[in-house]
Each structure stands twice: as C-alpha cells, then as structure tokens.
Amino acid sequence: MAKRSCPNRSAFTLVELLVVIAIIGILVGLLLPAVQAAREAARRMQCSNNVKQMVLGMHNYESAYKSFPIAWWLDIPGGSNIQAANGNTWGVAILPFLEQTNLYNQFDQRFPAMHNLGPVHEANVEVIKTPLSFFKCPSSPYSISALYTGDATDAGLPVTWTAAPSDYIATTGVLGAFARIAYAGNPGGNRHGALQVAGLYGSSRSGKIGSMTDGTSNTFLIGERTGGPDIYVGRTTSAALTSALIGLNGGGWGDMLNGENWIGGGLYASSYDPTNPAAYLQEGPCGINCTNIRGRSFHSFHTGGAHFGLGDGSVQFLSENTEAQIIAAMITREKGEVVQVPN
C-alpha cells in the first residue's frame, strides 16, 4: 500500500497573518494605556518625593533658625545705595538642607543674582543657573536644562536674571477674585501664607511655626506649579502669553519671583483659543491646573491634580476640582478657617 505524503507548510496564509496582526494590535492597545499609567504613577511618586524633600528641608531650616525661610526678599541698605543691594529666595535658602551645601557656599549673600542692580556677582548667577533634579517634576514636558530668563523692568524694577527651572512655588497668600469667591464676597482678615516676604517689599511678619495658628497640618508651604520658560493654558503652550509674561512668571528655583505667589485664581478652560490669549489673564475660580501663570493657579502635568507640601512636613495631592474655599483656607496660615484636607 502506497504511503500518503503530507504537504509541507512553509508560511502563514494571508488570513492567518492578518489575524495575528489584529491580535497583536489589540494586545498593544490594551497594554499601552497600562504602561503609560504605570509610568505616570512612577513620575507622580517621584514628584511627591521632591516635595517631601523640600518641606523636610524647610523644617530642618526652621530647626536651625527658629523660623521657616523667607519666601523672597530684596534689601537696599541706605536707600539709594544700590551698591549694597542683596536679595534671595527660599529655593536658595534651603540648599544646605537638601545636601547642596557646596553649591550654597558659592552664593555670596551680599549680592542678588541679578543684572543691572549694582555690581553683578557672577558666581551667584552661575549658582541659580544650576539645574537640580528635585526642583523639576518628571511629568513636566520641558528639559531640565531649559533656563528661565527673568526681567522685572515692566514691574518697575529694571533688573534681569537667568535661572534653572522649578516646578514648585511658594504659597504666599490669597487675593483678588479667588479670595472673593472663596470667602463668599467677604475676603477680610489675614490672607498671608506661611512663607513671608521681607526686605524692601516685605513685612515684619514672623515665619515661625507658632504663627501658623490655623495649624501646620492645615497650611501649605509650597505647591506644584509648572515652571520653566513657557506659559500653559491647561496643557497647551501659549506663545502669546509666554511672550507677554516673559520674565515675570517666577519659573526658576533661584528666581526671587518664585516666592511671590498670591493666588487670584484663573478661568476654567476646556481648550485654548490662541486668538484671544488675554482672556486667560483674568482672575477666576480655578485654583489648580487651569494655567501656570504665577498668581493665577497651581499647575501640574499630573492627571487630575497637583502636589502640595504642608507645614507639618506631609505631602498631599489635591484634586483640580477642589473648591476654592478649601484651597484658600490651606494657603492662609492665620485666618481662622475650619477646613479638612480632602483625602
């Protein structure tokens, strides 16, 4: 009886190949969101750790000096004697408590790191141009080497500076439309934040823990706010707003304006209209993730909210849907509001 031979199969049929490709496509479609979510979770955890380092650095500073660091200051001793001008910000002040003592020692406290205000101390300029990984949220889209150029000429102070970026900013106080909304049209009382402003533009208020009468667990020290060179509405870059606000956004960790952040709120925007950029300069009810314009809202590239460092050393992630009343109460340190941080 003759032996029957089986035909050899050397390749897939076209139908089989298409089926395999379809299955692979489905698997990739299922896995990609999970991979992206895992990566964002890791970035969010690193960002939370950055905030934790900074608030612990502030507490170590407080242990050493019996006061939290000043948000920012600029002194001109002798009035018009600008040769004696000096200034600094909280980001520089806590460097020794972030294992950056060598960098801090290069900063000459007799001079600000700015141009056009007396003699420029180039070492100071180089210090604040140094990129530091813990000042950048890994979810932010710009490079850590992206420098921020400041220019306060339009604000009445003809000085310029260049600084490495920071995605974290002081929570200096509450004002404007955000205060009126948060306090139901009655924004009286003390609306200052935990970190104080001193020197030529400052006050005599204390930065001691004891002055935080609202409670350290109910008061922000710093909040997440996308820094660097660009202005965002939501997650869209605005070339017009970037150009209009260049130098005034406090986008660097050694930038004194990073300590001047009174929240006036922003407008909720589902999308950015490039034909009307001025609309996004208005104050409003949005306190988180509407824009990174200094003095409008806190801002991050995390889904749904942003991180905040509190006076008790803890870190909280607040939803972008958090009510204005709660955000305002967490910013102020001695206004007397009763508030519970959302979990």
Query: Is residue 268 a contact partner of residue 255, using CB atoms and an 8 Å limit?
Result: no
Q: Which pLDDT value is given to residue 177?
A: 95
Q: Is pLDDT above 70 for 203? A: no
Within-domain flag for 59: yes
Q: When comparing pLDDT for 198 and 94, which is higher?
A: 94
What pLDDT does 22 receive?
A: 78
The verdict on residue 206 lying in a domain is yes
Mean pLDDT calculated for residue range 120-130: 85
Sorted by sequence, the CB contacts under 8 Å of residue 311 that are 6+ apart come out as: 55, 194, 209, 212, 215, 216, 217, 218, 219, 220, 221, 333
Structural element, H or E, at residue 221: strand 220-224
pLDDT of 315 > 70? The answer is yes
Q: How confident is the model at residue 229 (pLDDT cuts 50, 70, 90)?
A: very high
In the chain, where does DSSP find H-type helix?
14-65, 90-93, 101-105, 122-128, 176-182, 239-244, 324-331
Half-sphere exposure of 113 (CA within 13 A, CB side): 29
Residue 261's pLDDT is what?
A: 95
Q: What is the mean pLDDT of residues 237-261?
A: 91
Confidence of residue 149 (pLDDT cuts 50, 70, 90): confident
Q: What percent of the chain is modeled with pLDDT above 90?
A: 59
Flag whether 33 is in a domain: no
Query: What would the pLDDT profile of 19-62 be if each residue is shown by its tens digit?
Result: 778 778 777 777 666 666 778 889 999 999 999 999 999 999 99
State residue 6's pLDDT score: 54
What's the mean pLDDT when you consider all of the chain?
86
Residue 112 structural domain: 45-331
In the prediction, which pLDDT does 207 show?
Answer: 83
Residue at 324 is within a domain: yes
Q: Is a pLDDT exceeding 90 seen at residue 119?
A: no
Instruction: For residue 298, give the nearest of 193, 206, 189 by alpha carbon.
Output: 193
Residue 165 DSSP one-character state: B
φ, ψ of residue 37 in degrees (nearest 5): -65, -40
In a domain, 289, yes or no: yes
Strand partners, 198: 73
pLDDT (0 to 100) of residue 156: 67
pLDDT in tens, 97-111: 999 999 999 998 877
Residue 96 scores a pLDDT above 90: yes
Whether the predicted pLDDT of 4 surpasses 60: no
Q: What is the pLDDT of residues 283-312, one digit of tens each?
A: 999 999 999 999 999 999 999 999 999 999
Q: Looking at residue 86, what is its pLDDT? A: 73
- Please state, in angstroms and rounded to a whole number, the distance separating the CA atoms of residues 223 and 315: 10
Tokens 């979990």, residue located: 343
Q: Are 103 and 95 in contact (CB under 8 A)?
A: yes
Domain count, the chain: 1
Between these two residues, 116 and 60, which has the higher pLDDT value?
60
Query: Are the C-beta atoms of 288 and 298 separated by less than 8 Å?
Result: yes
Residue with tokens 């000085």: 159
Establish if 258 belongs to a structural domain: yes
pLDDT attached to residue 83: 53
Residues 277, 238 contacting (CB under 8 angstroms): yes
- Is pLDDT at 144 greater than 60 in this prediction? yes
Residue 132 domain-assigned (yes or no)? yes
What are the residues facing 306 on neighbouring strands? Answer: 318
Contact status, residue 293 vs residue 245, Cβ threshold 8 Å: yes
pTM of structure:
0.86
Q: What DSSP state is assigned to residue 299?
A: B
In a domain, 57, yes or no: yes
